[in-house]
């Protein structure tokens, strides 16, 4: 009997620069999932990726390789998506998290880099989007 296996609907990824050594650091704001959840898209590996385009098009490009990930087909009036940041992602054997996180410039961005929402079922699609890069309401 498994007890306590869960997968939150929302994962918020934030980042910042460490002043010592200029090292990039990441903080996972909210995430709790069963480590045995093998079908969770953010834990998947991308065989090969060579993508240049808008950052919010990246999840669909990753999805073309069979990873259950896509951009949301809906948009909340409280969440403005980033429609302008360009990104170039190239690599082999990248984790989905690495592809989503490590190629986006952090200058001028607010604390949350991207948001993923996943239903609580095996093989569910993770809907990922990048919020507007600056603070909302400014």
Tens-digit pLDDT profile for residues 58-83: 999 999 999 999 998 877 767 788 88
pLDDT for 19 beyond 80: no
How many whole angstroms separate alpha carbon 84 and alpha carbon 131?
11
How many whole angstroms separate alpha carbon 118 and alpha carbon 88?
25
pLDDT for 4 beyond 80: no
Triad 66, 60, 16: Cα angle to 5° = 110
Looking at per-residue confidence, does 133 or 90 come out higher?
Answer: 90
Looking at per-residue confidence, does 56 or 133 come out higher?
Answer: 56
pLDDT for 23 beyond 50: no
pLDDT for 18 beyond 80: no
How many whole angstroms separate alpha carbon 28 and alpha carbon 7?
14
Among 11-20, 68-77, 86-95, 97-106, where is mean pLDDT lowest?
A: 11-20
Instruction: Give the pLDDT band (50/70/90) at residue 134.
Output: confident
pLDDT given at position 83: 87
Helix (H) or strand (E) holding 96: helix 96-101
- Phi, psi (5° rounding) for residue 10? -125, 135
How many whole angstroms separate alpha carbon 4 and alpha carbon 51?
38
Q: Under 8 Å CB-to-CB from 133, ≥6 apart: which residues?
A: 82, 84, 85, 108, 109, 110
């Amino acid at each position: 009997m498994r007890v306590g296996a869960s997968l939150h609907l929302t994962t918020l990824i934030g980042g910042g620069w460490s002043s010592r050594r200029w090292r990039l650091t990441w903080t996972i704001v909210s995430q709790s999932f069963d480590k045995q959840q093998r079908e969770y898209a953010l834990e998947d590996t991308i065989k090969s990726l060579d993508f240049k385009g808008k950052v919010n098009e990246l999840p669909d490009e990753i999805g073309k390789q069979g990873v259950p990930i896509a951009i949301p087909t809906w948009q909340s009036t409280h969440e403005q998506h980033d429609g302008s940041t360009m990104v170039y992602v190239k690599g082999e054997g990248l984790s989905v998290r690495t592809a989503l996180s490590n190629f986006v410039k952090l200058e001028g961005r607010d604390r949350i880099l991207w948001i993923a929402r996943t239903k609580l079922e095996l093989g569910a699609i993770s809907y990922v989007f990048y919020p507007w890069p600056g603070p909302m309401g400014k």
